[in-house]
Amino acid sequence: MSISLQHETVLLNEAVEALNIKADGVYVDATFGRGGHSRLILNRLGQAGRLYAFDKDPKAIAAGASVDDPRFELIHSGFEHVATELAQRSVGAVDGVLMDLGVSSPQLDEAERGFSFRFDAPLDMRMDTTRGQTAAQWLAVVGETDLKEVISQYGEERYARSIARAIVAQRTVAAITTTKQLAQLIAAVIPRHEPGQNPATRTFQAIRIYINRELEELSIALPACAGLLNSAGRLVVISFHSLEDRIVKRFMRELSSSPELPARLPIKAVDIPAAKMKLIGRAIKPSEGEVARNPRARSAVMRVMEAL
């Protein structure tokens, strides 16, 4: 079962403005999704400009077929492979990279993807459905301690131990293969949960992050994308939960600061290595109007960095 909801790109204008696009520049949309950012970037580019977009979701790749533009190429790959894929196309440097993290609305709204507890569907959760282990397959074999650590670390769920114990106990009776089974199991274990939030929210997030290696891939992609930037090139990152934003914030802060040197080291200020990047403005969040139109935007945070 699928439902079709209008997909609204989060921070669309703000993100593209932050790229500070040059008409003849080369840009990367590292997370194509349904192409909202890519289409606006193409509108800002001149005939000599170029845009490379990436996505590992086969349905996003299929949706990208509608973008008929010689300046555009959509690549079926995760953003951790951006530098390698561009090198194969003889692209060594770019003028801007946009990373819109998290799960897209179509992924959440298509029941068969298994991302949401709103539907009873196969427990899949893979962003790239052509490869890798499904959430159901992983839950069938993972040890209780490892499962508890995933739920605790990636979901920041305080009842992680109880949930992990219940999942391991349940699979000795019957395999957990659907989103409804998992959501009901979690709801039965958690004594209290945040008002307005489904008790399965944090655990579903944790399993999805683990199955897709989201935080590991982000940690690989950030330095790779920053290393591609020309002078004055910009890295724009939109994150949707605290774990992502913490990684982005720490990474940008480190690159925009001069390296720490041992105390009392006899070195002139002019000889201290300069920072490689500078932060552009403060973190940006969606306006009240955007959140009213698109409640899924409420947790978004955008950070921008420029190469020196």
| Distance (Å, whole) CA 74 – CA 61 | 7
Per-residue pLDDT at 162 exceeds 60: yes
From 112-116, 144-148, 285-289, the region with the lowest mean pLDDT: 112-116
Best-predicted range by mean pLDDT (5-14, 175-184, 263-272): 175-184
Please state, in angstroms and as integers, the Cα–Cα distance from residue 118 to each residue in 18, 57, 239, following that order.
Answer: 35, 21, 23
What domains does the chain contain, in order, with CATH numbers? 12-105+214-307 (3.40.50.150), 129-211 (1.10.150.170)
Spatial distance between the Cα atoms of 53 and 111, rounded to a whole number of angstroms: 26
Candidates 7, 45, 6; CA nearest to 29 is 45
Residue 21, pLDDT above cutoff 70: yes
Q: How far apart are CA 106 and CA 296, in angstroms?
A: 12
Q: What is the DSSP string of 116-178?
A: -TTS--B----SSTTSS--HHHHHTT--HHHHHHHHHHHH--TTHHHHHHHHHHHHTTS---B
Q: Quick check: helix, strand or coil at residue 65?
A: coil
- The pLDDT value recorded for residue 65 is 94
73-90 pLDDT per residue, tens: 999 999 999 999 999 999
- Asked whether the predicted pLDDT for residue 118 surpasses 50, the reply is yes
What is the arithmetic mean of pLDDT over 196-207? 91
Give the pLDDT of residue 266. 66
Q: Is 35 annotated as a binding residue?
A: yes
How sure is the predictor about 267, in pLDDT bands with cuts at 50, 70 and 90? low
100 is in an annotated binding site: yes
CA atoms within 13 A on the CB side of 170: 21
Give the contacts of 142 (CB within 8 A, at least 6 positions apart): 150
Is the per-residue pLDDT at 5 higher than 50? no
Measured between alpha carbons, how far is 204 from 214 in angstroms, rounded to an integer? 14
Task: Please name every residue paired with 25 in a beta bridge, in sequence order, or none if there are none.
Answer: none
Q: Determine the Cα–Cα distance for residues 133 and 146; give it in Å rounded to an integer.
A: 16
Q: Is 237 helix (H, G, I), strand (E, B) or coil?
A: strand
pLDDT band at 2 (very low <50, low <70, confident <90, very high): very low
Handedness of CA 148, 179, 126, 225 (dihedral sign): negative
Rg (CA), the chain: 21
pLDDT at 271 over 60: no
Length of the chain: 308
More confident residue, 288 or 195: 288
pLDDT of residue 1: 37
The predicted model gives 51-78 an average pLDDT of 96
Position 272 confidence tier, pLDDT thresholds 50, 70, 90: low
Token code pair at residue 195: 């008002």
- The answer to whether residue 142 scores a pLDDT higher than 70 is yes
Please tell me whether 55 is known to bind a ligand.
yes
Mean pLDDT throughout 201-210? Answer: 95
Q: How far apart are the first and last CA of the chain?
A: 49
- Per-residue pLDDT for 242 more than 90? yes
Average pLDDT, stretch 31-41?
Answer: 95
The two most distant CA atoms of the chain are separated, in Å, by 69
The pLDDT value given to residue 4: 40
Q: Is 76 annotated as a binding residue?
A: no
pLDDT at 3 over 50: no
In degrees and rounded to multiples of 5, residue 27 shows phi and psi of -130, 160
The owner of tokens 């997909």 is 7
Q: What percent of the chain has a predicted confidence (pLDDT) above 70?
A: 92
Residue 245 in this model has a pLDDT that exceeds 70? yes
Per the prediction, the chain carries an average pLDDT of 91
> Whole-angstrom Cα distance, residue 29 to residue 41?
9
Q: What whole-number distance in Å separates Cα of residue 6 and Cα of residue 21?
A: 27
The model's confidence at residue 6, banded by pLDDT at 50, 70 and 90, is low
Residue with tokens 């994308």: 225
Q: How confident is the model at residue 257 (pLDDT cuts 50, 70, 90)?
A: confident
Mean pLDDT of 127-144: 96
Segment 53-72 mean pLDDT:
95
Report the pLDDT value the prediction gives residue 110, as an integer from 0 to 100. Answer: 78
